[in-house]
């Protein structure tokens, strides 16, 4: 393990004013998103769309520190033959790769899942590093509902996250550790806070036991937010306050940065919550974004599969990236969204 390499890469992933583009949608997920805009999900269409993003020079050079790729994407080349990984590197961003194999039902825990993919991971990490990946991502999914999450599900997923992170660092690949407490359901913000604290404390205990170097990782958690079906949605300031409260209780200062997932929030909600945290926080870690849909929904809709719309879609992507860059500095204002509209 090259500790200097890991810590330098992790710090670069959360450098001021920049965040991570999550472009690691599985084939099934991107098909759903393409279906919504009337585009057939073929390898060429998926390549063209992602090339559109990676060639958005303003966004990629100014606001994006790294890109999480899917197995198909890390192997693809642009229309001119340039590997997509090279486009990312040429923009000054860091290529990364999703390495988990998805959430599967957890035996004897109805409604709960365990993320699989540890078998053969060491060999896959070596291959991905050879293809240009300098960091990786593994997502654990924790649902909230009556009687869940169980200790069994939280412990099993935390253990898998820690095993994954240790294998990454062994191969000089920075692990993004992503324990996501889902915002589906009708739970209130306090229930989310309780579950998120439980999950994060368990994850960091497992990371310690697997000897993971905290300075060489990035945490990608959910924000503390009420479930989508909750009758009362907490205001922006309360989301920021309770998210920071939980993080301070659970996340050691050695972690260089926290890159939040958007988790189903709207574009502006995800931006506003991140901004509020950075306006009020004197946190020991950098707080930034690692968004997928909250960065991509607007450019996808504008593009809609037409080459004529590429430049307009790139402008939409650059706008969302800039808004989140400002939020990562606590400088976003809602009027900027209205002006752009």
79-134 residue pLDDT tens: 999 999 999 999 999 999 999 999 999 999 999 999 999 999 999 999 999 999 99
Mean pLDDT along residues 238-263: 98
| Catalytic member of 18, 98, 220, 242 | 220
> Cα separations (Å) of 168 from 128, 174, 276, 308?
11, 6, 32, 41
Catalytic residue (one of 25, 51, 112, 178): 178
Note if 178 is an active site residue. yes
Rounded to the nearest integer, the mean pLDDT of the chain is 97
What are the pLDDT digits (tens) for 53-78? Answer: 999 999 999 999 999 999 999 999 99
Q: Is 140 helix (H, G, I), strand (E, B) or coil?
A: strand
Range of the domain at 134: 3-340
Q: For the chain, what is the domain count?
A: 1
Is 220 catalytic? The answer is yes
pLDDT in tens, 145-190: 999 999 999 999 999 999 999 999 999 999 999 999 999 999 999 9
Instruction: Examine the pLDDT at 1 and tell me if it is beyond 90.
Output: no
**CA–CA dist 118, 161 (Å, integer):** 9
pLDDT of residue 280: 85
* Residue closest to 171 by CA, chosen among 214, 116, 127: 127
Chain segment 264-302, per-residue pLDDT in tens: 999 999 999 999 999 987 899 999 999 999 999 999 999
pLDDT at 282: 83
| Cα angle 30-294-17, degrees, rounded to a multiple of 5 | 125
Cα 56 to the center of its chain, rounded Å = 19
pLDDT band at 339 (very low <50, low <70, confident <90, very high): confident
What's the distance, CA 331 to chain centroid?
21
Q: Is the pLDDT of residue 338 over 90?
A: no
- Closest to 10 (Cα-Cα) out of 179, 243, 219: 219
181: left (phi over 0), alpha (psi -120 to 50) or beta: beta
Question: How many CA atoms, within 13 angstroms, populate the side-chain half-sphere of residue 88?
Answer: 27
- Does the pLDDT value for residue 202 go beyond 90? yes
Tokens 């642009």 belong to: 78
Judge whether 73 and 131 are in contact, CB under 8 Å. Answer: no
Q: Look up residue 173 and give its two tokens.
A: 């690949």
The predicted pLDDT at position 341 comes to 58
Helix (H, G, I), strand (E, B) or coil at 268: helix
**CATH code at position 226:** 3.20.20.70
3-state secondary structure of 68: strand
């Amino acid at each position: 393990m090259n500790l200097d390499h890991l810590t330098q890469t992790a710090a670069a992933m959360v450098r001021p004013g920049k965040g991570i583009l999550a472009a690691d949608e599985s084939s099934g997920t991107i098909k759903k998103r393409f279906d919504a805009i009337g585009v057939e999900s073929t390898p060429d269409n998926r390549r063209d769309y992602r090339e559109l993003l990676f060639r958005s020079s303003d966004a990629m050079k100014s606001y994006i520190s790294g890109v999480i790729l899917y197995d198909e994407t890390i192997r693809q080349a642009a229309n001119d033959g340039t590997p997509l990984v090279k486009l990312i590197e040429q923009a000054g961003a860091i290529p990364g790769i999703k390495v988990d194999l998805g959430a599967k039902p957890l035996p004897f825990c109805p409604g709960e899942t365990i993320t699989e993919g540890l078998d053969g991971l060491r060999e896959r990490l070596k291959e991905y590093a050879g293809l240009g990946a300098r960091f990786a991502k593994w997502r654990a999914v924790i649902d909230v509902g009556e009687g869940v999450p169980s200790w069994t599900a939280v412990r099993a997923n935390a253990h898998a996250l820690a095993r994954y992170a240790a294998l990454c660092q062994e191969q000089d690949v920075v692990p993004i550790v992503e324990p996501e407490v889902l915002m589906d359901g009708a739970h209130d913000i306090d229930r989310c806070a309780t579950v998120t604290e439980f999950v994060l404390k368990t994850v960091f205990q497992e990371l310690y036991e697997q000897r993971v170097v905290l300075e060489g990782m990035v945490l990608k958690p959910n924000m503390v937010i009420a479930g989508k079906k909750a009758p009362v949605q907490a205001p922006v300031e309360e989301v920021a306050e309770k998210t920071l409260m939980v993080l301070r209780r659970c996340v050691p200062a050695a972690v260089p940065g926290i890159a939040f997932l958007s988790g189903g929030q709207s574009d502006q909600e995800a931006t506003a919550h991140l901004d509020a945290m950075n306006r009020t926080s004197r946190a020991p870690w950098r707080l930034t974004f690692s968004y997928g849909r909250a960065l991509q929904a607007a450019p996808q809709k504008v593009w809609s599969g037409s080459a004529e719309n590429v430049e307009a879609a790139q402008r939409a992507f650059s706008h969302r990236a800039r808004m989140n860059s400002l939020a990562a500095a606590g400088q976003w204002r809602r009027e900027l969204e209205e002006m752009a509209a």
